[in-house]
Every structure is written in structure tokens, then in C-alpha cells.
Structure 1
């Protein structure tokens, strides 16, 4: 169709970049819908916290989350990552029928939409108990998260935010391209990955200033020294004149222990 129009002498231009630019700043109505979507996932994480125990399977947790999200009004559960035990490091983006065991670390990402507006919302748990390597990895992932969020306010350059994230070599990768998507920020709205994208891969060479009304997810990942566990945290934030407003509210300041012994 595009080529036929061009052959007919019609000038056709790519409007995608204009739309991405327009979608970077959210209206109050959009922010309300994004907040409602996040609230739904808050509730699902409470369900996961209660269901996460030895004998449960990753795919059973995914099924539970899907059921609850559709009951609450989601129009599309796009993907739910459920990763546990030895699958935590390196980090896949899927789920299996693996049986969860005592002492496992497990993390989840819930990607769904409410009236078209997306969530991207990670949480990490330990099952029954936590080991020292698990606690240390979580503490480091939280520190990186808090350092990045503390910088978020209008007028701050995205290169400053990117510097708060670890280098690829700090988490076992040879290049920033290889580590891309683990410690970074991405806009979220009608699309899962919108502007701005903030990372050590791109933000030093092409920085931009944050503006009030932006909405993006902040993600961190830290593998544990045991070689199998890892911590993954994600907060969705609104850029306000006063700084970052976090709208993902399931507790994540410390490592949650599900069904503690």
C-alpha cells in the first residue's frame, strides 16, 4: 500500500517519531489509567506472595495472576515472567513448569494493559527463607534503584540517571549491549517501551532533559554470588515538579520472604 501510494506520486512520511514524541508526556487522564493499572498489579502481587510456597509451579503462579488480572478488568495480559531458583541467573524472560523449592529466590514481571495502558512491574521474593547471597543481591539492586529515583526531577539530564546504574561488567556482562534492559529506564504508556529510554548504552551520547508529566519504569537487576539467585526490582514513576512519584506500591524496600518458616 505504501509503495503503491509512492508510485502514484503521493508523498508519504513516517509519523511514528511524531507520535512517540507526543506520547512522552502524559495527560492527567493517562496518568490516572496508568495508576489504576499499577494498582491491579499491586493486588496480584499480594496473591503471589501468599501462593508462593514449595510445591507450586511457575506456570501455576502465572495462571493465578492471569485469572486475577482479568477478573479485575485487564483487557490484555501480555506476558508474565516467572523465574525461580537456578533459572534466576542468567535472566530469562519466560516461565516453565519448574517446581518451586524451599529457599528459592523467585522474581516476576507483570506486563498487562488496562484500557490500553500498560504495566511493567517486577518484584522479587525468597521462598520460606533467604540466604546471605540473596539478601546481599537484593540490597544492591535496591540501592541502585534508590540512587536513580533520587535523581529524577524536571531538568535533570538522562545521562545523570544512567550513571546511577551499574556498569555491564559489574553484573557479569562483557558489553553494555549485552546488559541492556537489565538496569535502565523506559517510558511506558500505550506502548510497553516508549520514550525516554535511559541506559548506559545510549544516554551518555544522546542525553535529554526530564520533563514533568513523563512516566517511566526504572529497572534494576543484580545476580547473587551463589551463581544461581538474583534480584530484580522495577518501579513505575511519574516525573512531577517535586521529583519522582512511585505508583508501584507492593512493598519492595527489603526482600519479601513469602510464607516464612
Structure 2
């Protein structure tokens, strides 16, 4: 058995196309994630956090409501008290989105003070919102006058300040809380990766000269949505001379036989977890040219070398210093990082090339990471993008993404 049929056989699925998890697993994941948030609040001596980022809300409560829309429009939010309740402030008439989540939470109506909803009354509404937050803090942590918030527009910050509440950075709290994955989380993440790899297999199977980039990209979306996935964060698929430099969005360009096609999935799949995988092929799956093979060999060597280097206890800066040495003619077009965390979306940490002087930190068991490579000559015609999603164990990196590389190109 090979190709898409093998992936289908490996993935639990009911007859109606719904991805199934083992009984009780998702509830354990929910409990683990909420406790990670509360533990981080206690560690930093912050009594509560207000969450607006829809991914943070999903992490803490496993509730979802128009995530792309609410990411632009701050119209639902959640307060998690370190030693108290979860209070969900839900968008208009949407309390039902909490009904299928076994979480003890008080549900209230959100006070929407963004300009779209409040117009010239935005400041008035923001003060109303701030009073409610201050009252909640006073009820559950009466001696405290500070609260964390992950995202906050200036009007809200000003209103909390007027109410005597000091705001601390909640995004840092959430990024650190989300860093270490439980064994159960890995099962859920693997389900998203498996769905993503079905989409990749579908793209591989249908790829032929004469298709547009957008036509090919649609096949990844199809498999993701068909199997309960949610969205794709970027549109990074390019072919031919659009593969160099990288970071060019999918277009109506017609793909020609023999040119390179590369992509980066950035796919948020079932249960809200991200599958971030990159591969590069030739259009028509024809034999690559010697120059295409040269680029691919360098990208694969960078990926393979760096993945083998990472181990628990190593610092980010140590990894950057010891990582694969990129030849000068590739360096200008380097990817933005050597590796980054991954969970529900791209997460902390982001590890820079040593020349870019990134921040330091320590690799820990339980992190999930994406190891990155982009190789393209400065001023060159094409480039190769590869990326592998891994879990960090006591013995180093274990691949989570398994879609094949073009080993016959090496």
C-alpha cells in the first residue's frame, strides 16, 4: 500500500469523514492546557489573564467562534483566574459555542468596544468593559490591582488604567504555557499532521503542467476542510522563478513542466492544531536538472544537520552557533529562522541565525518544533523550501511529519 491510500488506512476516521480520537483523550488535553495557563500565572504572581487572541482562547478553553474574524475584531474574550473561575465573554447570541465543551465556566455577554461595533461610543464602551474586568478581579483577587492581557488596543489599556488596573504582558505568559506538549497533545497534533499529509499527497497526485498555482493549492484546502480542519494561515506556494526569493504568495501563474514548485502548509487542522510542512517538487515530477539537485541537496543537508543537533538542555544560541554553515551565495535569501515552536499555530521559540542575534533560551523535552530550510542563490532563478515538524524527546528530535523527501535527487 502506498500514497494516499496508506495515509487513509493509518488515520482513524468514521464513514462520514470525521476524525476520531480515543475516548477521553481530548478532555485530558483540555485539562492539561488550562492547568498550564494557571501554573504560569501563579509562577509569575499574576492573579488573572484576559485572553482576546482566538488561538489563546482555544488553548485555554477549547472553544472556537469565527476565529479568523474574531482575530481581527476583538468581540469575544475570556478571563482565566489563577485560583478561581473561567469566565467567558461571548459574542452576541453565541453562548451555544460553549455547550459541547465540558468546562465549568461562567458565560457572560461580551462588551464590544472596537470601533466597528461601538463607533464614536468606543471610549464609553471601553470604560464599561474595564469596570467589569476590575470588578471581576476585585471579586476573586481583592488585594491585586494588576492583570495580564494578551492583546489590547490603546482604548482598552487607557480604560483599565483609569480603573486603577495595571496591565502586564499576557502574550508572553501564553506563549510559555503553550511550549511543552503532553503525550495526549501529540496524538491530537498528529491527527492534524496526518490530514495535512493527505492534502500534500493529493497535491502530489494531481500536479501537472498547465495547472495554476492556485488550482494546486486548492487541493490542500479541500482535504483539510473535508476532514474537519479549520484554515490555512498563509498562501505560500510558488513555482519556477517565483520560488526565488521565497515568501511569494500563491498566484494564477501557470506552472510549466520541469520547473520547481515549493510550498509551506501552515495548516490549522482538526482540533485546532497546526501542521507546518514544506516540500519541493518538479512540475510533472520529471527528473530535476543538476542545478535543481544542487539546491535540493543543500536544503536537505541543512535540515538533516540541524535536526540532528538539537537536544534537551542546549541553548538556542548554542544551536545557532553550531548549526549548518550556509554558503555565502545562499545567505542573503536565508529563511527568517532556523527553527520555531509549533502547536496550534507557530509558537515560541523562534531561533535565529547567529548573524541575526536572536534571543536565547533552552530546548526542553516536550517541545514541538519545525526545522526550516530555504536555499536559493542570491539573484538565482529558483529555490528549494523544506521543513520538518518534530517532537523533542530525551534522545533528540523525533519526526512528526513523515511525507517523503526526494531522496533520489541527492
TM-score (norm 1): 0.88
Tell me the SS of whatever aligns to 1:217. Answer: strand
Relative to structure 1, is the Cα distance of residues 18 and 92 closer, same or farther in structure 2, using a 3 angstrom cutoff?
A: closer
Which residue among 162, 167, 170 is the counterpart of 1:12? 167
More helix by share: 2
Tell me what 2:341 maps to: 187
Distance in 2 (CA, whole Å) between partners of 1:199 and 1:249 is 25
1:65-119, Cα deviation, whole Å (9 max, x unpaired)? 1111111220223334210011111113311111111111110111221212112
Relative to structure 1, is the Cα distance of residues 125 and 253 closer, same or farther in structure 2, using a 3 angstrom cutoff?
A: closer
Q: Does 1:84 align with 2:239?
A: yes
Distance in 1 (CA, whole Å) between partners of 2:334 and 2:405 is 23
Tell me what 2:293 maps to: 135
Tell me what 1:105 maps to: 260
Which residue among 200, 203, 214 is the counterpart of 2:367? 214
1:179-230, Cα deviation, whole Å (9 max, x unpaired)? 452x5111111232x1121121588563322110001111101115992121
Q: Does 1:21 align with 2:176?
A: yes
Relative to structure 1, is the Cα distance of residues 229 and 180 closer, same or farther in structure 2, using a 3 angstrom cutoff?
A: closer
Which residue among 185, 200, 210 is the counterpart of 2:353? 200
Relative to structure 1, is the Cα distance of residues 255 and 73 closer, same or farther in structure 2, using a 3 angstrom cutoff?
A: farther
Tell me what 1:171 maps to: 330
Distance in 1 (CA, whole Å) between partners of 2:208 and 2:379 is 21
Shift of 1:129: 2.5
Tell me what 2:210 maps to: 55
Q: Does 1:230 align with 2:383?
A: yes
Tell me what 2:320 maps to: 162
Tell me the SS of whatever aligns to 1:13. Answer: strand
Tell me what 1:242 maps to: 395
Which residue among 262, 275, 278 is the counterpart of 1:119? 275
Tell me what 1:259 maps to: none
Q: Judge conservation of contact 2:335–2:372 (CA < 8 Å) in 1.
A: no
More strand by share: 1
Shift of 1:48: 1.2
Q: Judge conservation of contact 1:85–1:106 (CA < 8 Å) in 2.
A: yes
Q: Judge conservation of contact 1:54–1:100 (CA < 8 Å) in 2.
A: yes
Q: Report the aligned-residue RMSD.
A: 2.2
TM-score (norm 2): 0.57
Does 1 or 2 have the higher relative contact order (CA < 8 Å, sep 6+)?
A: 1
Shift of 1:58: 0.4
Distance in 1 (CA, whole Å) between partners of 2:176 and 2:379 is 43
Stretch moving more, 159-168 or 21-30: 159-168
Distance in 2 (CA, whole Å) between partners of 1:207 and 1:255 is 37
1:145-203, Cα deviation, whole Å (9 max, x unpaired)? 11101112211222232231445844151xxxx7452x5111111232x1121121588
Tell me what 2:144 maps to: none
